[in-house]
Chain A
Amino acid sequence: MSAVSVAPSTPLPTATKVPFGRLVMVEWRKMTDTRAGRVMLMITGGLIALVAGIILLVTALSDMSALDASTWMSALSFPVSLLVPVLAIMIVTQEWGQRTHMVTFTLEPSRLKVVFAKLLAVFVLGIVTMAIAVGIGAIGTVAGAAIAGSDPSWNVTGEALAWTLATQILYLLMGFGFAMLLLNTPAALVIYYGYTLILEASVFSALYFIFDWAQDVFPWISMQVAMMPFIAGNEMQAAGVAVEDGALGIARLATSIALWVGLPLVLGTMRVLKSELK
């Protein structure tokens, strides 16, 4: 039917292992070669642009003063935290949902290598997205100040920037961990949004200042509460709350991270390594 030879060439090729970098490239490509993947990236970019546009519009229309750089950064990291972890979830769960895992893991039987390649690919994507968000925030700071006729306020310290990045990375790892643990897109999304939008954003912050026990327990189980002494120590002091940024604070932070990021990553990796692929 065709002139193309299907003959196995003798002798056996002395094939070398698939280089890790190539696996990362393949995983990167898989994030962008479907309509679903491209739509996700466009939504992420679009949402960042939308938030920035709304802030500038409001600044222009109202006579409020221009937002400072740190407010810009927290405003723009919200869409990032909403969407980048979804990419981290999908890079894993889609393989199971579409059953392409059978092909992926026959072409590279080292499941751990594939897991790391996926993590690195989505990690790079996350960093690029955050860099774009921070860049737009900087542009917004200048543009907003120009619109309001004031000097831009660059009140972001290197430390604050580092904490913002660290938070986003933790969310990304958390999404990735739960994706491996559940191997199912909707379930992983529910857990991720349930944690960030319901527990962190509403439950923990609402109860924290109301109940004494909450102030004892939450720093151990909520990453956001555990981070507060490090990110917003001054504000806490001003509000008359004890700031634990010593060994106890670090122990709390480590515990909450172990609970929401470490545990799902470890258990999820074990599940991916052991499970039968069919």
Chain B
Amino acid sequence: MYAMIKVEGLTRVYGTFTAVDDVSFTAEAGKVTGFLGPNGAGKSTSMRIMVGLTNPTKGRATINGSLYADLPNPGRHVGVLLDASAQHDGRTGREVLTLAAMTMGLPTSRVDEMLELVSLTPSEAKRRIKNYSLGMKQRLGIAHALIGDPKVLILDEPANGLDPAGIRWMRGLLKEYADRGGTVLLSSHLLHEVEQIADELILIGNGRIVAEGTKDEILSSQGTVGQSLVTALDNEALTVALKAKGYSVEPIGTGMRVSAAPAEVGKAALEASVVLTDLRDGGAGLEDIFLQLTAETQREAIAPAHPEGASA
């Protein structure tokens, strides 16, 4: 089996608080796996355990079958970015990469390649980290993760601080990386950051996995397909027609929410000769599901789903 991350029953307890609670999943080769959860869900803790910086209370994480600590020269196997600001203020960006290259036994030409890859100019590379912007630190962190030409990437909120162009560039980079057989695990608390590139999503809240799979799998497993939002010139007539077909109808704003797919609603309207002014898929978006599933762990009480809640 080609390089993959396997997490089995991972648990980490701090005192009486369980930060990571029996987490199991596999991040497969050739795929981008998104690790999503609100603040404090346990993403960073899980990732620190994967690379041996934090000891698990129970369970284990392996990379291609071995514990991270058992990998010889792990920088050549796994690219890690946990916190881009955890670098010495007084070192230059180039020096940070040079130290990594030295440790891994790479030629210094690799440093220049990586600087070019993440678009840090030679003059920026000579600056001290204390004078770096957040996005520049993040780019340096990505360069640091990639310098050893690893097969696996473990990135904690890599998009943090990147500008829109930078986020798009990073998406492309990770996508290409996975397409060529690499394994990518990246965390985020922002769904839209991950949604577009992740082949697999792992939703975590309160230390537990609440849903996992592809975007479509998560949507259908939550039973939100087959819902429509509809508005007609004659809402009453349409309600009668829909109820006659056995669907439930619930008024929302100027229209109704119907427990049927848009095609069924359109058919009913046609048969009843009712003119529709608006008809769309009323299934909850991924964002709604994400918010619902992680509701207990959110800091803010979640407002009831917006009437036009299908916008996500």
CA distance A99 to B129 in the complex (A): 13
**A105 interface residue (CB < 8 Å to B):** yes
Please encode chain A, from 19 to 42, with 1 for each CB lying within 8 Å of some chain B CB and 0 for all others. Answer: 100110110011001111000000
CA distance A13 to B150 in the complex (A): 9
**B257 interface residue (CB < 8 Å to A):** no
- Choice from A2, A8, A35 contacting B182 with Cβ under 8 Å: A8
Residues of A within 8 A of B51 (CB): 106, 109
Please encode chain B, from 131 to 156, with 1 for each CB lying within 8 Å of some chain A CB and 0 for all others. Answer: 00000000000001010011100000
CA distance A30 to B168 in the complex (A): 34
Say yes or no: A18-B177 contact (C-beta < 8 A), given A33-B95, A106-B80, A276-B48: no
Residues of A within 8 A of B182 (CB): 7-8
- Choice from B68, B91, B104 contacting A109 with Cβ under 8 Å: B68
B103 & A26 in contact (Cβ 8 Å cutoff): yes
Say yes or no: A2-B64 contact (C-beta < 8 A), given A9-B149, A105-B53, A106-B80: no
**A107 interface residue (CB < 8 Å to B):** yes
B104 & A94 in contact (Cβ 8 Å cutoff): no
**A6 interface residue (CB < 8 Å to B):** yes
- Choice from A29, A110, A278 contacting B99 with Cβ under 8 Å: A29
- Total residues of chain A contacting the partner, CB 8 A: 41
- Total residues of chain B contacting the partner, CB 8 A: 55
A278 & B48 in contact (Cβ 8 Å cutoff): yes
A15 & B76 in contact (Cβ 8 Å cutoff): yes
**B163 interface residue (CB < 8 Å to A):** no
A6 & B90 in contact (Cβ 8 Å cutoff): no
Q: How far in angstroms is the closest Cβ of chain B from A103?
A: 7
CA distance A16 to B75 in the complex (A): 11
Say yes or no: A277-B172 contact (C-beta < 8 A), given A8-B150, A17-B73: no
B87 & A100 in contact (Cβ 8 Å cutoff): yes
CA distance A268 to B152 in the complex (A): 33
A6 & B146 in contact (Cβ 8 Å cutoff): yes
**A235 interface residue (CB < 8 Å to B):** no
CA distance A35 to B131 in the complex (A): 14
Residues of B within 8 A of A16 (CB): 72-73
**B119 interface residue (CB < 8 Å to A):** yes
**B3 interface residue (CB < 8 Å to A):** yes
A10 & B181 in contact (Cβ 8 Å cutoff): yes
Q: Which of A82-139 contact B (CB under 8 A)?
A: 94, 98-100, 102-103, 105-110
B105 & A276 in contact (Cβ 8 Å cutoff): no
A4 & B89 in contact (Cβ 8 Å cutoff): no
**A242 interface residue (CB < 8 Å to B):** no
Residues of A within 8 A of B114 (CB): 4
Say yes or no: A13-B76 contact (C-beta < 8 A), given A2-B116, A277-B54: yes
Minimal Cβ-Cβ distance residue in A for B53: A277
A18 & B88 in contact (Cβ 8 Å cutoff): no
**A54 interface residue (CB < 8 Å to B):** no
Please encode chain B, from 107 to 131, with 1 for each CB lying within 8 Å of some chain A CB and 0 for all others. Answer: 0000001101101000000000000
Residues of A within 8 A of B104 (CB): 18, 107
CA distance A107 to B119 in the complex (A): 24
**B305 interface residue (CB < 8 Å to A):** no
Minimal Cβ-Cβ distance residue in B for A11: B2
CA distance A274 to B55 in the complex (A): 8
| Interchain Cβ contacts under 8 Å between A and B, 26 examples | A1-B172, A4-B114, A6-B146, A7-B176, A8-B150, A8-B177, A18-B73, A26-B99, A26-B102, A29-B102, A34-B90, A100-B86, A100-B87, A100-B88, A103-B87, A103-B100, A105-B53, A106-B74, A106-B82, A107-B100, A109-B68, A110-B69, A274-B55, A277-B48, A277-B53, A278-B54
Given A2-B119, A26-B102, A103-B87; 12 other pairs, CB 8 A cutoff = A1-B169, A8-B149, A8-B177, A12-B77, A22-B102, A29-B102, A102-B83, A102-B86, A109-B71, A276-B48, A277-B54, A278-B44
Residues of B within 8 A of A (CB): 2-3, 44, 48, 51-55, 64, 68-69, 71-78, 80, 82-83, 85-91, 95, 99-100, 102-105, 113-114, 116-117, 119, 144, 146, 149-151, 169, 172-173, 176-177, 180-182
